[in-house]
Each structure stands twice: as C-alpha cells, then as structure tokens.
C-alpha cells in the first residue's frame, strides 16, 4: 500500500472539511467496503455517501475495518427529496445513521431541491435532527443561488456547504461566490467530469509541466480555490493519485487558462426531483 497522505481541510461555519474525500456513488457491496477501508488507510478522512446510493451499510463496514478513530473522520450522507416532509426526514436521518452504525454523522445534506414540499418545513426538520444529535453539521446539495438565499433566510442553524457538480468545464462562479459570501463551503462532486478531463489538451499540457495527470491538474485547480472535492473511484491506484495534489501549485496563468474552459452548458448531471431547475 502507498504511504499515508496528509490532506488539509477548510473551515466553514464551524465545520472542518477535508479538501479531498472519497465519493461512493455507484459503489456497492464488498467492493465499496474495501475501497472505503483502503482510502482511510491511505490517509483519507472524508467519506461521502447518501441514502439513495444504497451503500451506507458497506461504507460503515469499510470505516470499521480501517480502524481509524471516529473523531478523525468526516462522514457525509444525504437525505433523498422524497423524504423531505418533517417526519420522513427525521426517520430517514435516523435510518442512515443506523445503517452506518454510528451515533451521528458529521454532515447531513438535502440531496436535491424538492419544490413539492415547503423548504421551511424541510429545513425546520433538518435543524431539528442536528439539535437531536444525529448530525454535527447540516447543509444542502444542488441548490442554486436563489435557493441558497431562501434556505439561509429560513435556517435556524448554520448551513456549512452546498455540494454541487463542479469541474473545469462547468461555470459555477455564481454559486461559488454566493457560498463564500455566507461563509459556506463548496463541495465538488463529479470534479473530474466523470473522466472527461483525461482527454483535454489544456489539462494534459499543464499536467506535463508538473508531471501530473489531467485529473490531478483538475483536482488541484479546485482545491487551490479552497473547494473540497469528492472524486469517486473503485480503483485503489486512483485513490493515491487523487490525493497526490498538494505537492505542487498551479500558476495564476495556468489557473486562468483552466478557468477559461468553463461553460454554462457544461453540466453532466441534470436530475431534479420535480421539474427542471433553473441553473445559475
């Protein structure tokens, strides 16, 4: 196994979130437990799951097998929009924590917006499960600037992040700016655009300069902006590669060149629970 990596964190409304984590979407069964275990043995401390991924039990198994102290970990899970009514949300949160076999998670997110249920009701329940000790922190995912503004007006507890699709091919500058103005973190899912970065000439050329892969350049571009990344992988060698991005720095010119790749229409994931989201 590779040597243990040290991954720095960012601060956001009382939470300290490791800048590189492991996304677990589509990981199942023994393979999921094994990759979580190996990630933690390698030095990862941030693991992201969700009730809709149907792998919280396996994530929990991997965590226990790794033997890392609980207070060193940052575990995120997410509530699916069909459970946004207050009683359903509280039940979903308790069931997620039980599947993970933990007393609490570190961060509980609303997975996607659900306009069919008033946000005030959903956020009231989300704040309650925090006060009840099921999660240390709360936040949202896939929220636009307008949705964030509404959520922040309503929430009685601090929101620590908006987890969104974020990679060099998608312009997320408005959401990033909104999060920063409120002291919230941005957590990037699909940060290497589901592998689409590997064939990009700009990223490959910059990678050659630094002796890094296009994916590493992409991840470095995000963390250098203090954006946390949660790339998903099922390959052990990729775990080390994805975390090995803190031994070099991109120049301002390189950052600008990568930034120029962004497009409003660069979105890969465009699911919404009810109706189309008017993305920023």
Provide the residue count of the chain.
280
> What pLDDT score does 277 carry?
87
Which residues, other chains included, contact 161 with Cβ-Cβ below 8 Å and sequence gap of 6+?
A: 12, 15, 17, 107, 109, 139, 140, 179, 184, 185, 186, 187, 228
Note the pLDDT tens digit of each residue in 176-185.
999 999 999 9
DSSP string, 27-46: --HHHHHHHHHHHHHHT--E
Q: Does domain 16-193+228-234 have CATH number 3.20.20.100?
A: yes
Which residues, other chains included, contact 69 with Cβ-Cβ below 8 Å and sequence gap of 6+?
A: none
First-to-last C-alpha distance (Å) of the chain: 42
**Does residue 272 surpass a pLDDT of 80?**
no
183's tokens:
């002291």
Q: Are 163 and 109 in contact (CB under 8 A)?
A: yes
CA–CA separation, 43 vs 38, rounded Å?
Answer: 9
* pLDDT averaged over every residue in the chain: 96
Buried b / exposed e across 37-76, counting CB within 10 Å, b at 16+? bbbbbbbbbbbbbbbbbebbbbbbbbbbebebeeeebbbb
Which residues, other chains included, contact 274 with Cβ-Cβ below 8 Å and sequence gap of 6+?
A: 81, 114, 115, 116
**Does residue 275 surpass a pLDDT of 80?**
no
221 given a catalytic annotation: no
Find the mean pLDDT for residues 43-67: 98
> What pLDDT score does 206 carry?
98
Domain boundaries, the chain: 16-193+228-234
17-21, 29-33, 191-195, 254-258: which has the minimum mean pLDDT?
Answer: 191-195
pTM listed for this prediction: 0.96
Q: Are 84 and 25 in contact (CB under 8 A)?
A: no
Note the pLDDT tens digit of each residue in 65-111.
999 999 999 999 999 999 999 999 999 999 999 999 999 999 999 99
Given the residues 44, 53, 189, 221, select the one marked as catalytic.
Answer: 53
Which residues, other chains included, contact 65 with Cβ-Cβ below 8 Å and sequence gap of 6+?
A: 33, 37
């Amino acid at each position: 196994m590779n040597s243990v990596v040290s991954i720095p964190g960012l601060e956001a409304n009382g939470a300290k979130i490791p800048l590189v984590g492991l996304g677990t979407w589509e990981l199942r069964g023994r393979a999921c437990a094994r990759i979580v275990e190996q990630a933690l043995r390698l030095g990862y401390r941030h693991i992201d799951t969700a009730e809709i991924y149907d792998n919280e039990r396996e994530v929990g198994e991997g965590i226990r097998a790794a033997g890392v102290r609980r207070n060193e970990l940052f575990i995120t899970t997410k509530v699916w929009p069909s459970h946004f009514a207050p009683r359903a949300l509280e039940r979903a949160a308790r069931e997620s924590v039980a599947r993970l076999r933990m007393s609490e998670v570190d961060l509980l997110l609303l997975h996607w917006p659900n306009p069919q249920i008033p946000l005030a009701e959903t956020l009231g329940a989300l704040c309650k499960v925090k006060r009840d000790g099921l999660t240390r922190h709360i936040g949202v995912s896939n929220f636009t600037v307008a949705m964030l503004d509404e959520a922040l007006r309503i929430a009685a507890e601090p929101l620590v992040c908006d987890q969104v699709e974020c990679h060099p091919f998608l312009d997320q500058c408005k959401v990033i700016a909104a999060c920063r103005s409120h002291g919230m973190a941005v957590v990037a899912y699909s940060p290497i655009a589901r592998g689409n970065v590997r064939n990009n000439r700009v990223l490959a050329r910059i990678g050659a300069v630094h002796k890094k892969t296009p994916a590493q350049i992409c991840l470095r571009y995000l963390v250098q902006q203090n954006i946390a990344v949660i790339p998903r992988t099922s390959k052990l060698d990729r775990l080390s590669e994805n975390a090995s991005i803190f031994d070099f720095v991109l120049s301002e010119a390189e950052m600008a060149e990568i930034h120029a790749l962004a497009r409003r229409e660069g979105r890969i994931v465009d699911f919404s629970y009810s109706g189309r989201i008017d993305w920023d």
